[in-house]
Structure 1
């Protein structure tokens, strides 16, 4: 076996289960709380790296070295590691309003804190509105609930009351201003930023443009400040929702070392960007093994989140608050499936196939 093809260390050679390590991707779940109960359940699934959305109930202005370290230490008590924190840049940055420079300084301060405390990735969105109104639940296998999106449900919706619409050109101007300010700080702190794609990737969301609603937009974003620290959350499901080949798109951004987080899920797309259904991870149009094999080939070392499991009777009858919106049984399934894909990919790559 040619283990050196994927740089696998002697410590895991010959182990048929191919454990995750610093040389492989790491599966993650998104924690809604850091209770003993949540940490225990994540650990039981074999997940090591966790993601969270905030520190306590506040935004980035609450970040201090002590606060972040307290969360890191708390998760470590469950033999887990915080490797990604999602944050919201805020409307003043997204809409280019007065005060955005103050908000950018708050983000830079949080990045510097993350660097000092060893947090490797910070993930964020950059949209004026997320057009979730286009979703409805449709029946899947065995009566499970699948998320279905159709643009006809929302194409004529106006901005929400009290909100404003913004053009895609203005969004590009504002994200450029933001990136040129924060990426140098991210590079200095050794903290990678990951911008999540627009999901749903409809062209218009209540009157506002969507800069991350196309692969062309992803590429444009990555070129504003060409740096591994200006990266994306590569979502193979959204890629297929937009009508593209996830393996090709994964290779494009991986070769530029600009994949800083991964979302791993499956969909069936009828009309790109306009009409699709999120399905179980083992069905649909995304070749999940091919995507995982490409990430392994790239030696991608960061987190993979097997997200968006469909609704199932177990989670409906016995919801578990604490792990990604009460869908623990569904996540147990997606984690197991993703780990099997990873282990098979590692074994295949190591055998030189």
Structure 2
């Protein structure tokens, strides 16, 4: 039976017992972040984290722990690229070096975003099911918060994204690295004068149509796309048919674009099983990863949403969904 490919994110600077647990529960791939801890690049600048030496050493550490490093979900500074500010050329060169080095090291997917102010949560100690700690976004919490880097409109963001892809896609094609853009989180039109453009299904269609390269694709975040569209299953099918889903974040939220809270994966309101059947039917087996889980009693988290026990629970649930989808489709074939 085909096995689901889970590339769980490793946030630690060195192996931990959680890494061993991941191996024990059947996780063989990893999503990595840039090794900013090796060496102290902010002080000495011997290397940048996206240079070959630190990235190669990081990959070796991950592989020695038993994982294949499949995805990098991190990036050099890109604020000047997004805003079109002086100094963007240096930032473009840093991104190019990252992609080239990923290619040399055989790291297949780069997950990036086009959010000038990043992904946002305004509350990180909400009480979820049974008192589990969870996070949420409430737009009203930001009403008096000025934009960190200044305002920017949709037209400027689109123009700068097109310029960026015109520059980086040929480099990615040469390096054999697929670019998987993450949707805006939250998918609002703007936040305090800072526009957001990757916040509708139509926006992703537009990006794919304007840059039809097979290296230009999507990180399909289930919770964010569920806030964009009423029928998530049809959206999964739509982008699978276009062969533009390169990486999947599987998680659940309840609420709407302006007010939502993250919940356990089994509390979700989306048709998860039908969505998983679409992945299997179209021959997409991963990489998947779970994301933003509540924190259980006695558990620890270094980053809100990335506790140990919560992710173990979500991984098991995801594995069960996948196996059920495979067996149900095999049953459909046998009965036809």
* TM value normalised by structure 1: 0.84
Change in 2 beyond 3 A, CA 1:159/1:66: closer
Match 1:214 to one of 186, 190, 200: 200
Match 1:41 to one of 15, 18, 21: 21
Match 1:146 to one of 111, 134, 142: 134
CA RMSD for the aligned pairs? Answer: 2.3
Q: Does 1:266 align with 2:223?
A: no
Match 1:225 to one of 186, 196, 211: 211
Q: Does 1:296 align with 2:275?
A: no
- Where 1:227 maps in the other structure, the secondary structure is coil
Q: Deviations over 1:274-330 (max 9, x none)?
A: 233322101121111112111111111431111111122131xxx265x98651000
The number of aligned residues is 324
Contact 1:201 1:213 in 2 (8 A): yes
Aligned equivalents of 1:81 and 1:49: distance in 2? 5
Contact 1:147 1:277 in 2 (8 A): yes
Aligned equivalents of 2:36 and 2:122: distance in 1? 31
Match 1:287 to one of 271, 274, 280: 271
Greater RCO structure (CA 8 Å; 6+ sep): 1
Equivalences for residues 303-342 of structure 1 within 5 A: 303-315=287-299, 319=300, 327-342=307-322
Equivalences for residues 224-263 of structure 1 within 5 A: 224-263=210-249
CA drift of 1:69 comes to 2.6
CA drift of 1:128 comes to 1.4
Aligned to 1:195: 181
CA drift of 1:92 comes to 1.2
More divergent stretch after superposition (251-260 vs 327-336): 251-260
Aligned equivalents of 1:228 and 1:328: distance in 2? 35
Q: Does 1:65 align with 2:52?
A: yes
Aligned equivalents of 1:219 and 1:66: distance in 2? 37
Q: Does 1:84 align with 2:71?
A: yes
* TM value normalised by structure 2: 0.88
Aligned equivalents of 1:266 and 1:245: distance in 2? 14
Aligned equivalents of 2:19 and 2:273: distance in 1? 28
Change in 2 beyond 3 A, CA 1:47/1:68: same
Contact 2:248 2:287 in 1 (8 A): yes
Aligned to 1:7: none
Q: Deviations over 1:32-85 (max 9, x none)?
A: 125232432321232111111102335994434343332222111121111011
Unaligned segments of structure 2, at least 5 residues: none
Match 1:54 to one of 23, 28, 34: 34
Unaligned segments of structure 1, at least 5 residues: 1-17
- Where 2:332 maps in the other structure, the secondary structure is coil
CA drift of 1:219 comes to 2.0
Aligned equivalents of 1:84 and 1:152: distance in 2? 34
Q: Deviations over 1:231-285 (max 9, x none)?
A: 111011111122432211111211111111101012223x4x2233322101121
